[in-house]
Amino acid sequence: MTDITERGYSNPDILVSTDWVADNLDNPSIRIVESNEDQLLYSSGHVPGAVEVDWVRDLNDPLRRDYIDQGAFEALMSRIGVTPDTTVIFYGDKNNWWASYALWVFQLFGHSNAKIMDGGRLKWEKEGRDMTRDVPEYPATEYKAQPRDDSQIRALRDQVLAHVEAAKPLVDVRSPGEYSGERLHMEGYPQEGAVRGGHIPGAKNVPWSKAVNPEDGTFKTADELTAIYSGEQGLNAGDDVVVYCRIGERSSHTWFVLKYLLGYENVRNYDGSWTEWGNSVGVPIEK
């Protein structure tokens, strides 16, 4: 894989390599954060010095379907020893799908000083780098966050409805089977947590994982990504784009790709996604 700086990204600084992380394990100005889909992985071994941020326990409100509030975010940052000046380096399983999601939530509170380790946990493991089960403890910090700002990078249902009515572009990053709304192959198996199948009218289907190289989890080059999102789907960096999936986790990965690697200025993640849209009364659906 070519060096990050040679891949033509709009914001190459948003990524760090596994080499860089290995050289900066003791760097006091960074905090390495593992965020996974699989809750057992961090405890089974992680990058030395890394803390865990779990999206269910740490980022979701325990009662409402929503993210934590400003106070809870400040408490989280204090617990993991992060100040506003700390550069947070996210990595995780599933080709950094959950790392992107955590980075997106951190952005809602204005912690933009954050990067992703290219290749994530998969690349780190494949390279045979050190892992530990030791859970580090860092001195608690004082952290003052900005109130959560949902207006820039998050889309809510009614905004998406207006977006559809204005015929603006959407990207559905689920699998083709989820997008088409086809039934799963055996009766009685869990569906996608929605009473209706299909997709939001007008949405293009670009499964999130098309943006990564499957062998090591690194992001594809800007040219390769442009071929997918512009060449195949006709999107442009100036477009107002909404991305979604089932609950907004996979689509935060595509949000990251469009916003930081390709430089799209207006990309919002619809975290309500199909589990909201496919259960909503009266909204339009396409199959």
Partner 1 sequence: MADYPGKLGEIIEDFEELLDRRERTELLIYYADQFVEVPDAIASRPFEENHRVPACESEAFVWSDPQKDGTLKLYFAVENPQGLSAKAMAAILDQGLSDQPPAEIAKVSSDIVFTLFGNDISMGKGTGLTGMVSMVKALAEQSLNAQQN
Active site residues: 245
94 binds partner 1 per the rule CB under 8 A: yes
Cβ(77)–Cβ(111) below 8 Å: yes
Give the C-alpha separation, 277 to 157, whole Å.
7
Question: Minimum Å distance from CB 48 to partner 1?
Answer: 18
- Nearest CA to 170 out of 201, 216, 127, 125 is that of 201
CB 207, min distance to partner 1, A: 13
CB of residue 36 to partner 1, shortest distance in Å: 8
SS3 179: helix
Site residues (CB under 8 A) for partner 1, limited to 129-168 = none
Taking CB under 8 A as the rule, does residue 193 contact partner 1? yes
Instruction: Write the binding mask 18 to 47 for partner 1: x where contact by CB under 8 A, - elsewhere.
Output: -------------------xxxxx-xx---
Select from 140, 162, 184, 227 the one that contacts partner 1 (CB under 8 A). 184
- As measured in angstroms, the least distance from the Cβ of 197 to partner 1 is 13
Residues 60-85 as b/e (b if ≥16 CB within 10 A, e otherwise) read beeeeeebbeeebbbebbbbbbbeee
What pairs with residue 67 in β-bridges?
A: 60
* 15-16 and 170-172 beta bridge pairing: unpaired
Closer to partner 1 by Cβ: residue 93 or 118: 93
Q: Which of 121, 148, 163, 174 binds partner 1 (CB under 8 A)?
A: 121
Contacts of 253 (CB under 8 A, 6+ apart): 95, 96, 97, 100, 101, 173, 208, 211
Find the part of the chain contacting partner 1 (CB under 8 A) among 6-14, 17-25, 119-127, 233-241. Answer: 119-127
CA–CA distance, 199 with 157 (Å, rounded to integer): 14
Among 172, 192, 271, 276, binds partner 1 (CB under 8 A): 192
Q: Which of 180, 184, 214 is nearest to 197 (CA)?
A: 180
Site mask for partner 1 (CB under 8 A), range 233-272, x = bound: -------------xx-x-----------------------
Of residues 177, 168, 184, 196, the one with CA closest to residue 286: 196
Nearer to partner 1, 85 or 189 (CB): 189
> Which residues are at the interface with partner 1 (CB under 8 A)?
37-41, 43-44, 55-57, 93-94, 121-122, 125, 184-186, 188-193, 246-247, 249, 275
